[in-house]
């Protein structure tokens, strides 16, 4: 075991998969510039030295290089496509939604698209076009698996599972959780390091993770909000409120088996997401809970989310926009009120 950051764990996972399978390669913007940062957040730093022919820098043309990635996957390769900011996925929507996600179905299962797409998301002082939480736009796309990692152990294990999967997988990573160093250190970063085995392991793409067991309330969250939820749970424990924290982790499909078991135990649910409230992932989970275990709910589901406005640029407004520990605490208190 070693203590790694998410950026380090992803880098190690990518390198191990490229050594294991010569069909694996990476493409993206500035991911292999000698002397550069290794992409926007240091994940691919130095990999061009070991894999000079399999680390491909692309133009800032997401529709083009995502099309190349889809074509390579259909031809039998296993590409890992990297965008500098998740917001740029909008520019590749036709390839992601109409080709990557649909080709297996449209071919009657004869075509596989083993494609991993990595995207950094979250509000970090970069304004409305570089700070969005993108999950909502992809979790409803049939044929696409969507995952979100909140610690280094999961980052490596999920990445390796995604590379080996024969379906397209979209992997969201939060900018404040990377643990990048030097010129790419993020103000306000949260420690997402964890013990990571030295060697091969995988984490399932379709399972949630219970981060803290509790008896009174279930709090569901992912990415940065999973860390804020854990902090809120510790604060509430001092008041005698026992919170179970579940890192949803798999956003499509949603693991209602793990989540449902928790809800049947606690009877109360708070769902926390960084994205806007209307049409968010939390809305889908709330509806799914009613279908899977609605008879166990002792109170209406409470959602803690950002307001339905674009992400503001100034730090003061950004902090007011994004859910935080006090708002999660208040959400838990609200669901417990008689």
Q: What is the DSSP letter of 267?
A: -
161 phi/psi in degrees, rounded to 5: -65, -40
Q: Is 100:113 a contact under the CB 8 Å cutoff?
A: yes
Asked if 119 contacts 83 with a C-beta cutoff of 8 angstroms, the reply is: yes
How far apart (Å, rounded) are the C-alpha atoms in residues 50 and 62? 25
In 3D space, the residue among 256, 227, 220 whose CA is nearest the CA of residue 150 turns out to be: 227
Query: What phi and psi values does residue 9 have, to the nearest 5 degrees?
Result: -65, -40
For residues 230 and 180, is the Cβ–Cβ distance under 8 A?
Answer: no
Which tokens belong to 314? 């100034």
Active-site amino acid positions? 62, 130
According to DSSP, residue 312 is labeled P
Cβ(208)–Cβ(259) below 8 Å: yes
């Amino acid at each position: 075991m070693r203590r790694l950051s998410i950026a380090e764990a992803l880098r190690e996972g990518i390198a191990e998969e490229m050594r294991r399978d010569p069909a694996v390669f990476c493409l993206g913007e500035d991911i292999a510039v000698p002397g550069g940062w290794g992409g926007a957040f240091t994940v691919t730093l130095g990999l061009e030295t070991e894999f000079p022919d399999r680390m491909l820098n692309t133009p800032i043309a997401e529709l083009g290089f995502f099309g190349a990635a889809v074509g390579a996957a259909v031809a039998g390769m296993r590409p890992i496509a990297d965008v500098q900011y998740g917001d740029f996925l909008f520019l590749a929507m036709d390839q992601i939604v109409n080709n990557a996600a649909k080709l297996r179905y449209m071919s009657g299962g004869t075509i596989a698209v083993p494609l991993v797409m990595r995207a950094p998301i979250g509000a970090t002082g970069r304004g409305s076009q570089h700070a969005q939480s993108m999950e909502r736009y992809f979790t409803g796309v049939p044929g696409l698996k969507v995952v979100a990692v909140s610690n280094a152990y999961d980052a490596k294990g999920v990445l390796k599972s995604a590379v080996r999967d024969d379906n397209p997988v979209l992997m969201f990573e939060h900018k404040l959780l990377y643990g990048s160093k030097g010129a790419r250190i993020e103000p306000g970063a949260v420690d997402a390091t964890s013990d990571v085995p030295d060697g091969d392991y995988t984490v399932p793409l379709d399972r949630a993770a219970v981060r803290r067991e509790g008896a009174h309330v279930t709090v569901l969250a992912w990415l940065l909000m999973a860390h804020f939820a854990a902090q809120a749970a510790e604060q509430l424990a001092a008041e005698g409120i026992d919170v179970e924290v579940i890192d949803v982790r798999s956003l499509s499909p949603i693991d209602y088996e793990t989540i449902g078991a928790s809800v049947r135990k606690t009877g109360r649910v708070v769902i926390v997401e960084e994205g806007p409230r209307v049409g968010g992932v939390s809305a889908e989970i709330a509806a799914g809970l009613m279908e899977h275990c609605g008879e166990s709910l002792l109170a209406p589901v409470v959602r803690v989310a950002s307001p339905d406005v674009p992400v503001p640029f100034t730090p003061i407004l950004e902090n007011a926009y994004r859910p935080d520990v006090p708002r999660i605490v208040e959400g838990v208190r609200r669901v417990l009120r008689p």
